[in-house]
């Protein structure tokens, strides 16, 4: 074995060693997986502003003997939201997708913005398929323009009075109890650590999990009790039956630094009853959140026109 070959072999071994070290997964947190997820969910609820992406894809079969027999849809959205000041909310949304019910449906692309003064809407694309048609005169009038509607004076203040404060010092005793219940309820089961991935630029712990429907039922019942409207056994049975119509399983991600639940990638499975009188199929979702508590701006469209409510009423919705 000549010297050059030995040097080459040694170099390869060193490179492989560094490569293996670099590929090692981050050790899981010391906390129980369920606790990490629940803490991440609680911290997400405390975030006052963030960017987000959301996608939903459905493939559903209607109840036996009913129309539509098949429903498929696929939508993708992204944007940002800021609720730090309830009297000055900021919201940005871009959405694009399509939906079909049997042979009828359509495509949609739109943008939505909101600040303390007004909401703004732009229909970028709108097309029908099958028997759903969009008249050309409506498309030429609505599509490709920005429309606006002012927010009535006092509307935001009234809305803010009905939304629980995220500041514990401003919460009522009942709201504090609900917050504590939310933070202590473990909504997921069969939680397993799966390694780490980057989400929105943040290294994040990845877990597989299933929705704990018994925990959900218990949470609903206790919330009702706290609000003075206890749920009877018959109603609890109905809630459990409703929960039995679907399952959820997927991957959930928690930021290693922020501790916030920042990504969900999972599938809702709709379970048809034995007589096929309820829908069946799957709804796949993926949602991410990032840029926590960073400033959000809303760009006010120039030359936005008042929303023509009579024209919107003519759409085949």
- Summarize pLDDT for 113-156 with one digit per residue, the tens: 999 999 999 999 999 999 999 889 888 889 999 999 999 988 88
Given this model, what pLDDT does residue 2 score? 45
| pTM (two decimals) | 0.84
Query: Could you tell me how many residues make up the chain?
Result: 317
| Cα–chain center distance at 103 | 28
- Summarize pLDDT for 230-260 with one digit per residue, the tens: 889 999 999 999 999 999 999 999 999 999 9
Distance CA 40, CA 171 (A): 21
Q: In what order do the strands lie in the sheet with 104-114?
A: 188-199, 202-211, 246-255, 261-270, 280-290, 49-61, 70-82, 90-101, 104-114, 118-129, 146-150, 305-306
Least confident segment among 18-27, 190-199, 210-219 = 18-27
Q: What is the CATH number of the domain that holds 197?
A: 2.50.20.20
What would the two tokens of residue 16 be? 């492989």
Distance CA 164, CA 179 (A): 10
Establish if 82 belongs to a structural domain: yes
Given this model, what pLDDT does residue 240 score? 93
Task: Specify the residue for token string 């609720």.
Answer: 83
Burial (CB count within 10 angstroms: exposed 0-12, middle 13-18, buried 19+), residue 193: middle
Number of domains the chain is built from:
1
Least confident segment among 185-194, 281-290, 305-314 = 305-314
Given this model, what pLDDT does residue 60 score? 96
Establish if 114 belongs to a structural domain: yes
19: confidence class by pLDDT, cuts 50, 70, 90:
very low
Residue 17 confidence (pLDDT) above 60: no
Establish if 37 belongs to a structural domain: yes
167: confidence class by pLDDT, cuts 50, 70, 90:
low
Establish if 317 belongs to a structural domain: no
Establish if 278 belongs to a structural domain: yes
Establish if 11 belongs to a structural domain: no
Q: What share of the chain is helix, strand, coil (3-state, %, to 5)?
A: 30, 40, 30
Residue 314 confidence (pLDDT) above 60: no
Buried b (16+ CB within 10 A) or exposed e, 239-277: beeeeeebebebbbbbbeebbbbbbbbbebebebeeeee
**Domain span holding position 33:** 29-312
How many Cβ atoms are within 10 Å of 20's Cβ, its own excluded? 9
């Amino acid at each position: 074995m000549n010297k050059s070959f030995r040097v080459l072999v040694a170099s390869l071994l060193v490179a492989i060693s560094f490569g293996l070290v670099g590929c090692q997964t981050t050790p899981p947190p010391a906390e129980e997986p369920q606790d990490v997820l629940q803490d991440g969910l609680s911290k997400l609820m405390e975030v006052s502003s963030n960017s987000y992406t959301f996608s939903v894809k459905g493939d559903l079969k209607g109840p036996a003997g009913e129309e539509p027999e098949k429903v498929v849809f696929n939508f993708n959205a992204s944007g940002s939201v800021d609720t730090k000041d309830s009297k000055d909310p900021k919201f940005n949304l871009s959405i694009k997708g399509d939906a079909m019910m049997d042979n009828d449906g359509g495509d949609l692309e739109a943008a939505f913005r909101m600040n303390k003064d007004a909401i703004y809407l732009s229909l970028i694309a709108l097309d029908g398929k099958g028997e759903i048609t969009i008249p050309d005169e409506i498309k030429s009038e609505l599509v490709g323009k920005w429309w606006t509607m002012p927010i009535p004076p006092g509307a935001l203040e009234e809305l803010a009075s009905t939304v629980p404060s995220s500041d514990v010092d401003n919460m009522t005793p009942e709201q504090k109890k609900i917050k504590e219940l939310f933070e202590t309820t473990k909504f997921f089961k069969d939680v397993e650590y799966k390694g780490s991935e980057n989400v929105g630029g943040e290294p994040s712990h990845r877990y597989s999990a299933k929705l704990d429907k018994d925990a959900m039922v218990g949470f609903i019942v206790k919330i009702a009790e706290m609000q003075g409207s206890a749920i009877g056994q018959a109603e609890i049975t109905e809630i459990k039956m409703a929960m039995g119509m679907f399952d959820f399983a997927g991957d959930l991600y928690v930021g290693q630094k922020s501790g916030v639940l920042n990504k969900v990638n999972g599938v809702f499975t709709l379970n048809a009853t034995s007589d096929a009188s309820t829908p069946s199929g799957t709804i796949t979702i993926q949602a991410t959140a990032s840029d926590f508590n960073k400033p959000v701006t809303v760009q006010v469209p120039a030359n936005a026109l008042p929303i023509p409510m009579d024209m919107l009423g003519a759409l085949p919705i």
